[in-house]
Chains A and B, each alone.
Chain A
Amino acid sequence: MSRLVLKNIVKKFENVIAVDHVSLEVEEGEFVTLLGPSGCGKTTTLRTVAGFYQPDEGEIYFNDRLMNNIPPAKRNTAMCFQSYALFPHMNVWDNIAFGLKMRKVPTEEQKKRVAEVLQMMSLAGMEKRMPSQLSGGQQQRVALARAIVTQPDILLFDEPLSNLDAKLRVQVRVEIKEMQKRLGITSLYVTHDQDEALAISDRIVVMNQGHIEQVGDPETIYLHPATSFVAGFIGLANILNGKVIARDEQRVLLELPFGTLWAFGGNLCPNVGDMVKFSFRPENLVQYREGNMNKIVTTVVHAIFMGNAVDLFLDAQGVRLRARAQNTEKFKSGDTVVFTIDEKAFQFLE
């Protein structure tokens, strides 16, 4: 097991900067996810850790050991690929034993360790099958087994679940998380799927255009996004601009096209006259009751029944808003609905 430290990593491809001064520390046994849209540099960062790419600048440490010039074969990382990357000409057993053979582990121990992971991954009895004879979920488990059997210092995951169907994806991500906790292997996981990141991670690193936008545990990332990119990328968010027209101790009064709203500013409370950018979640908009401080009058543009909720597309004096309502309520286009929002639901963005 290792602690992973990235210091100011820069990776360029010709003139494109794929990774732009990324610094990150992953503690021993921690599960950290790099989350971002395609092209944000998350996979490049991961592959740099694996040693497939050389960083143009910066340093990679496993514990205190500088890894920049260590070839991939000597890094003792294990990677799970999006394509699984099973060796098509080897059966399940030989696929899993490959890393042990390369490390010249004695045959007897190879047998013991492969049998162990086969059991752990519920693959017992499939040793002789070829990868082409396995389902997607089974292939993914073989890929996982092949990775953990080598007892790597760091486990690397490159969107391992994106080729699975939605139900299986949820199931396998729970398995990955449980296995990682049990074995306590430091893990770096790459995904563009925010639900997956929220469900599986100890900490999430949100990346955009090669740099890190925000690092934090899933609750912080979701409830307190630091930038409009994070607010917009993780879950749904209403991102608005407003002007501060008044303030008291910790609250500010924001002026918007559809009226004024009181927002809790905390210690970072902006000053009167400032233009501010802020966000709130669709579920923060709740039905207005007499006595509520904030009042937003909206018109329903679309109401989409989603099964567990109703997704509302609203118009408030020309400002588009999203809200979620209970699935028992009925809406139709053109209805006027009045919402309120708690003053603490606002996130001020950089």
Chain B
Amino acid sequence: MKEKNYSPIDYVLLIPGIGFIVVFIASSIIITITQSFGLLSVTGKSQFTIENWKAIFHDKESLDSVLFSLKMGVLSSLGTLIFAFPLALFLRKSGPGKRFLGSLIKIPQFIPALVAAFLIINLISYHGIINEALLALGIIKEPLRMLNDKFGWGVVVIQIWKNTPFVLLILSGSLASIHDDIIDAARNLGAGSFSVLFRIFIPLSMPGILISMILMFIKAFGDFAITSVAGPIYPPSIALRMRNTATLFQEWDKAAVLGVIIILTTLLITWLYSRLAEFVVGEK
């Protein structure tokens, strides 16, 4: 094949596309990273330092926030999976009422996270619907603390509510790609429901499971809106702490360190999941 020679004009024509990526995406990430080392600082003078990193790593409160957000990321992604996978299996085959149910389940996807948080508050707050109902039925003696609880269950519940439709969408795609004949073949060869689930459905939808876990983790780990409404008083999520550090304490460079930690953690988790996917699916 003939080598194509690119003229300078060809490169100029690429500017609208590549320029956008460089200016708005790459530059912002690079500036966050340099700021965390004191370079290109928006506040104070620009000078290379690792003091910001040291300060964050020696600050127990920051580490608590990182751990809290990690916990929220893992629990929310697992929780959503546990909810969405059986639903996706149930909705895999059409049946009476399933279309309606399928549409109903999609609603939370159209509700912004902050609004979702306030909606769920009505359900799980100290004097919310669930507590009042349980009290009225005599199941509990005093209301359960499900909101702003120290552990963060309130956040996990809202994350699951908000993101089940999204994960359902990914899992449904994965499950739809499994041919009915394969399920029938397994049943024909003596597999009961349990074996079909663990030997056919789960392994064959593993790529979908892993990708939805990654995306859910990234959402929940970096979450600001839901934890700010339903999270514990202490520790704040890492995103919440980043905002406080930057705007309340005016320590933009330290906030940049937290930002870099969020980015690096999500990258690391994504890498780990993709290695896991290679291992499980058995191919690159």
* A207 at interface by CB-CB < 8 Å: no
Least CB separation from B283: chain A residue: A130
Q: Identify which of B185, B192, B203 contacts A89 (C-beta below 8 A).
A: B203
B191 near A102: Cβ-Cβ < 8 Å: yes
| B204 & A99 in contact (Cβ 8 Å cutoff) | no
User: Which residue of A87, A130, A146, A156 has the most chain B CB atoms within 10 A of its CB atom?
Assistant: A87
Q: Is the CB of B185 within 8 A of A79?
A: yes
- Does A72 sit within 8 A of B, measured CB to CB? yes
Is A103 an interface residue, CB under 8 A from the partner?
A: yes
Q: Are B189 and A99 touching (Cβ within 8 A)?
A: yes
B179 within 8 A of A: yes
Q: Is residue A150 within 8 Å, beta carbon to beta carbon, of the partner chain?
A: yes
Interface string of A61-94 (1 = CB under 8 A from B): 0000000000111111111011101111100000
Q: Please tell me if the beta carbons of A85 and B203 are within 8 angstroms of each other in the complex.
A: no
Q: Considering the chains assembled together, what is the distance between the CA atoms of A51 and B190 in angstroms?
A: 12
Q: Tell me, yes or no, whether B184 is within 8 Å of chain A by CB.
A: yes
What distance in Å separates the Cβ of B209 from its nearest Cβ neighbour in chain A? 13
Interface residues of B in 176-220 (CB under 8 A from A): 179, 181-182, 184-192, 195, 199-200, 203-204
Report yes or no: B185 in contact with A85, Cβ–Cβ below 8 A: yes
Q: Which of A80-122 contact B (CB under 8 A)?
A: 81-83, 85-89, 98-99, 102-103
Contact B184 A150 (CB under 8 A): no
Give bound CA distance, A156 to B185, whole Å.
11
Task: Tell me which residues across on chain B come within 8 A of A73, comparing CB atoms.
Answer: 187-192
A50 engages B188 (CB within 8 Å): yes
Contact count band on B: 10 to 19
Mask: chain B, 84-122; 1 = CB below 8 Å from A; 0 = not:
000000000000000000000000000000000000000
| CB contact between B190 and one of A50, A81, A86, A102 (< 8 Å): that residue | A102
Pick from B184, B192, B204: contact of A81, CB under 8 Å: B184
Whether A150 and B181, one on each chain, are in contact in the complex, defined by CB atoms closer than 8 angstroms, is no
Closest Cβ of chain A: how far from B51's Cβ, in Å? 51
B282 interfacial by beta-carbon distance below 8 Å: yes
Q: Which residues of A lie under 8 Å from residue B191 when comparing CB positions?
A: 73, 98, 102
Which A residues, 18 to 48, have Cβ-Cβ distances below 8 Å to chain B?
47
In the assembled complex, A52 has its CB within 8 A of some CB on chain B: yes
Residues of A within 8 A of B190 (CB): 73-74, 76, 99, 102-103, 150
21 interchain pairs, CB-CB under 8 A: A47-B184, A50-B184, A50-B188, A51-B188, A52-B184, A52-B188, A73-B187, A73-B190, A73-B192, A83-B181, A85-B185, A87-B182, A88-B182, A88-B204, A89-B203, A98-B189, A102-B190, A102-B191, A146-B185, A150-B189, A150-B190
